[in-house]
Every structure is written in C-alpha cells, then in structure tokens.
Structure 1
Amino acid sequence: MRRRIRFLTYNVHSCFGIDRKLDPARIAAVINECRPDIIALQEVDVGRARSGGIDQAHMIATHLQMEAQFHPALHLEDEKYGDAVLTALPTRLVKAAALPSSGEPRGALWVEIDLADVKLQVIVTHLGLRGSERLRQATTLLGPGWLGAVEEGSRVLLAGDLNATARSTAYRLLARQLRDVQLLTNAKPRPTFPSRLPLLRIDHVLIGEGIGVAACNVHNSALARVASDHLPLLAELDVHLQTDERKRCETIEGKAP
C-alpha cells in the first residue's frame, strides 16, 4: 500500500510580488490553487520592518488552515527570515539549525510528518549564491547531523531553493543520494525562476527510497507569475508504507524452510 501526498516547494520572496506589492494572502491563494498537503517555503519574513512586522509563516498557514514550523536562517534582534514547513498533518520538529555560510546566513529545517502508517522526514533549505558555499552546505546536509542521521528505511524528502542547476556541483552531490522528482516523470523538466519568464531550474524536490512520483509540474498560473519571483514546484508523491515491507519480510521468513 501507499499514501498519495501533494508536496509543494515555493520561494515566496518575502511575499513581495514582481509588481512590488506585499501580499501574503496572494501567496496563500497561489498555494491554494495547487491543493498541497505539505508545503516547503523559503524567504519567509517574521517580524521584519520591511514587510510590516507580520509573521508570514503563520499568516499563510492560517489562510490555508494549516500549522507552520519556521526556522530563521537570519535573526537580527526581533527580525527573522528563513524557511518554513506548513501542513495540517501531525508534525514533530526534529532539527532547525544554521548551515556553513560565507555570505547571507543559510539554514535548514527538518520536520517529521506522521502519515499514520509511515513517518516522512522533510528537510527544507535555501542554499547560498556562491558555488563553493553551496557545496559546503550540501556536504553538511548529507553528513551525520542531517541526512546521515536518518534511520535506515525512512522516507526522506529534501526540498527548497537550492540556487543550483542540474550542472552544479552541489546539485550533483545531493542527486547521488536522492532522486530529482522532475526527472522521474515523462514530462520535460521545467524551470522555476524568474517567474515571469522562467529560465533556470533551481527549485528542487529530491526524494529517497520508498517514495514514487505520480506527477510533477511547475505551477505557472497568472497569479503565480506575479506573486513571487519564483514559481512553485508541485509533486504528487506515492509514499510506500513501511508496514508493507514488514509484511513482505514476514511472508518471506514464514516460507523459509
């Protein structure tokens, strides 16, 4: 058996659209067009003067009738800026921490999502602008404090704005261990940035074993093209339940002489 989920990753550009209008409700409306179960957000403002001092993570979550987990990669006094995971499913915060950065501070957020028969480990991040910086960050994410700490057989998903095309060293390093959902369908991979005329495929959803891809598309509605400078990436995923694996093992063991 398997559990179908709709997963969305979206760099929301602090909820400033390409028309320079600040509108978290518009971002929520774009997300709602996609009907996701789990959302990974990057460039989220919380308490920042430039965006009216509001908590964008929880405001967007409220619009969607979800809960939010937020991690500030940048934290200056009361102003925060970082990544978030939104869902109505039961969640547990596993880890939220900084990544090695030489420019703007970067971080990652790890949330465990309970799908009843299986727990999905979701890591959301926003990597740096320099290639050497991204490589250090990707190496850290693959190390013992992050993906290296995930229990064997777990269902794992890494998503976010990696600022990296498929040719980049950081992307290739991550893709050796995880699979790119855009490459697992019959559709041609599509770019996500910039939103008005997408040229670069830098927003990614990468999955581990035990997860299949039913469909994947870049959401390119009229509203999405103006709400942020990135387009959201939506993946329909089939998460295989670990109970099935146990039953298969028990069956095999029961038939053994």
Structure 2
Amino acid sequence: MTTTRTVSGAPLRDAERDEPSDGTATEAGSPRRDLRTAPRQGRRSWPAGRARRRGTLTTACSVLLALLITGHSWIPDTPGHVGSLVETLLPWTALALPALLAAALLRGSRTATAALLIPVTAWLAVFGARLADKSSPGGDLTVVSHNVRQENPDPHGTARSLIASRADVLALQELSPDTAPAYEQALAGTYPYHVYQGTVGLWSRYPLRDARPLPIMPWTRALRATVDTPGGPLAVYVAHLPSVRVTPAGFTIGTRDEALGRLAEDLRAERVRRVVLVGDLNGSTDDRSLRPLTRHMASAQSTAGEGLGLTWPARFPVVRIDQILLKGVTATSAWSLPATTSDHLPVAARLTLGP
C-alpha cells in the first residue's frame, strides 16, 4: 500500500522522495550525495593544520629569542663558558629577526607576525640606545688605541694613518722587535714622548712619567704611565689581554680572565683620580667576564659613540674587542678610524678631563 503526504497542498509519494531531481535513481533509504558539492575522494585537511603548527613554532622562537636577549645573564657560564660566548655575540641576534619574519609571512600566520614585535622590542631595549649618536662638541684631548698586528707589512703607512687622527695620546699593541723601531722613527716627529714595554707602547704630545710594565702575564703585554696633560695628570693603562678561541671544548677564556683579574687589581690600587684603560682586551663589554673592569669604568663608545663600534676583523668587523674605558674623565665623542694594514680597526675618543 502506497502512502502519500501533502506538501504545499500537493501529494507526494514515498517513491518520489527517493528519486533525485536529475532523474538518477538512488536506493531507498540511502542518503543523497551531490557529487558537485561533495569533497573529492582522498582530500586531506592536514596541510592547514601543519601550517598552523609551524606558525606556532615561529611564535615560540620569537618568544625564546626575546628571552635570550633580555635574560642572557641567566645563561650559565659552564660548561665551556657558553654564557660569555653568547654575550659576546649578542648583538648579532638581530640576524634572526628577518628570518623569523620570513617564516611568519611564508606560513601566512598573523599571530607569528605579531609575535615578532616581542624580540624586536627586546633587541631595541638592549641595543637601541647604542645606535644613536651620543657625541657632543668639546673635549680636552684625543686618545687613540690600535692593535697594529705583529705581522703588519706596512708599519710606516699605519703610523701615517694614526698621525692623521691628530691623537694627543696614542697607544699601540702587538709591537714586535722588528716593527717597533719603525713606529718609533715614524712617530718621533709628532710625539716627542714615548715608552715601549714588551709588545705595547705609548706615544704622547705631553710628558710621560712613572712608566712601568704590568706583570699581569708571564710576558709583558701591559704598561702604565702618567701623562702630564695641561688639565692635570692622567693615568693611562695600555693592555693586550690573551686571545680567546671558540673550540669544540667551548669558549677558551681562562687565560684572558686571569690576566684581566690582575689588571683589575692594579686599577683598583691606582691613586691618580683620572684613569684611562685602552687596548685590545679580547672581549666585548657585554661579556660578563669583563665586569671586574666595566663595573668601575665606563666605555667611551657606549657613552659617547654612535653604533656598536665593531673593530675585529677589520674587513668585516663582528665584535668590538678594542676598548677605551674611563674613570674620573668623560668622553664627548668616540669613533672607529679607517682601516690600516692591521686586522683590527683603530679606536678613538675625545675626552674631557674636568676639574
């Protein structure tokens, strides 16, 4: 017996309900499928999910980078002095920012793109002030320091470049028995006063006294002298601390830190009020290992320079290891000089001695 229902006043038989509108028959009771709107056989939704997961990964990397930049002091220094190594290279975390931006855009993740503001803000908070020009006019004298490289093929040319800087006090490191006489000869006409101890030397327009080597290492790579400037005595320390290396065992800084500790003791015992420490310290002022010095002395580049002032290697500097540190005097400007035939850039600062 056939049953009927009335829809909008018209009777509809059960058999008619099972017949599709295009005339294609289907089994009674089976669900209708419109092939034009049904998903294709074998289509999978996992790529969208994976893209979302990768957006999450990029976001997580942004957060971790911000934590690294702002919380680097929490990184343990052992094993391998990894904390010091990270702090030495910390400015280069900026290279990760465009990589994270590219990853966020590639995945089309708005969340990952927005999260990039976190490490950008962190980096600018730590290093942004250094990028600005903090120099000011004035100053009483100019100090220049340069690691001239022991194998420098043109010491006379390097000396001429340094004379052009119009330095009042000039400190050199990595002198050798072969090159030191060449610098003495080339600089004699401009700097009537000089002292040379081991591999370091000091040249000055003003008289020098109380010069002595500093026994911070088995060989002489540091000295101290008093410069009698028109504004009063200035104690100048010239140092070339032991080199550091990145090896499979880690960041080898033990010998440098031992010499640095002895140098810090000499500086603490200094009786002259105005003190300048210049030289190749083989370390960035961001490195926690230099805190025995930076805790009591200000970096001329950080307080009066522009940019990061990277100095080594000269052809493509990646780190500032040549420093001018001050106590009892202030810098009005600080800058790097043009490259010579050394593998380091010379550094300079204009100083105000004050009352």
TM-score normalized by structure 2?
0.55
Quick one: structure 1 residues 32 and 186, their matched pair in 2 at CA, closer, same or farther if it must change by over 3 Å? closer
Counterpart of 1:14 in structure 2: which amino acid? Q
Cα distance in 1 for partners of 2:291, 2:143 equals 22
Cα distance in 1 for partners of 2:203, 2:229 equals 14
Quick one: structure 1 residues 41 and 186, their matched pair in 2 at CA, closer, same or farther if it must change by over 3 Å? closer
Q: How many residues of Structure 1 are paired with residues of Structure 2 in the alignment? A: 210
Pairing 1:167–2:293 present: no
Quick one: structure 1 residues 107 and 147, their matched pair in 2 at CA, closer, same or farther if it must change by over 3 Å? same
Cα distance in 2 for partners of 1:186, 1:38 equals 19
Which structure 2 residues correspond to residues 76-225 of structure 1 after superposition, within 5 A?
Answer: 82-100=199-217, 105-130=219-244, 131-143=253-265, 146-151=266-271, 154-185=273-304, 187-209=306-328, 211-220=329-338, 224=339
Q: Which runs of 4+ in 1 moved over 6 A?
A: none
**Residues 156 and 183, structure 2, Cα contact 8 Å, conserved in 1:** no
**Residues 14 and 44, structure 1, Cα contact 8 Å, conserved in 2:** yes
Tell me how far 1:100 sits from its aligned partner.
3.1
**Alignment root-mean-square deviation, CA:** 2.0
Name which one, 1 or 2, has greater alpha-carbon Rg: 2
Cα distance in 2 for partners of 1:198, 1:11 equals 14
Tell me how far 1:212 sits from its aligned partner.
1.4
Pairing 1:32–2:152 present: no
Pairing 1:58–2:184 present: yes
Pairing 1:68–2:194 present: yes
Cα distance in 1 for partners of 2:305, 2:270 equals 30
Q: Which residue of 1 aligns with 2:150?
A: 14
Cα distance in 2 for partners of 1:121, 1:3 equals 17
Q: Which residue of 2 aligns with 1:43?
A: 174
Which blocks of at least 5 consecutive residues in structure 1 are unaligned?
A: 17-21, 73-81, 242-257
Q: Deviations over 1:142-195 (max 9, x none)?
A: 21xx212211x6100111000112332332221001111111026222101111
Compare the two structures and name the one with the higher helix fraction: 2
TM-score normalized by structure 1?
0.75
**Residues 109 and 123, structure 1, Cα contact 8 Å, conserved in 2:** yes
Question: Which structure's relative contact order is higher, taking Cα pairs within 8 Å and 6+ residues apart?
Answer: 1
Quick one: structure 1 residues 195 and 168, their matched pair in 2 at CA, closer, same or farther if it must change by over 3 Å? same
Cα distance in 2 for partners of 1:26, 1:119 equals 31
Cα distance in 1 for partners of 2:231, 2:164 equals 28
Pairing 1:238–2:355 present: no
Tell me how far 1:136 sits from its aligned partner.
1.1
Tell me how far 1:106 sits from its aligned partner.
4.9
**Residues 195 and 230, structure 1, Cα contact 8 Å, conserved in 2:** yes
Cα distance in 2 for partners of 1:43, 1:95 equals 17
Tell me how far 1:63 sits from its aligned partner.
5.0
Quick one: structure 1 residues 181 and 65, their matched pair in 2 at CA, closer, same or farther if it must change by over 3 Å? closer
Cα distance in 1 for partners of 2:151, 2:227 equals 25
Quick one: structure 1 residues 186 and 31, their matched pair in 2 at CA, closer, same or farther if it must change by over 3 Å? closer
Compare the two structures and name the one with the higher strand fraction: 1
**Residues 6 and 37, structure 1, Cα contact 8 Å, conserved in 2:** yes
Counterpart of 1:234 in structure 2: which amino acid? A
Identity level (%):
25
Which blocks of at least 5 consecutive residues in structure 2 are unaligned?
A: 1-137, 245-252
Q: Which residue of 2 aligns with 1:4?
A: 140
Quick one: structure 1 residues 186 and 200, their matched pair in 2 at CA, closer, same or farther if it must change by over 3 Å? closer
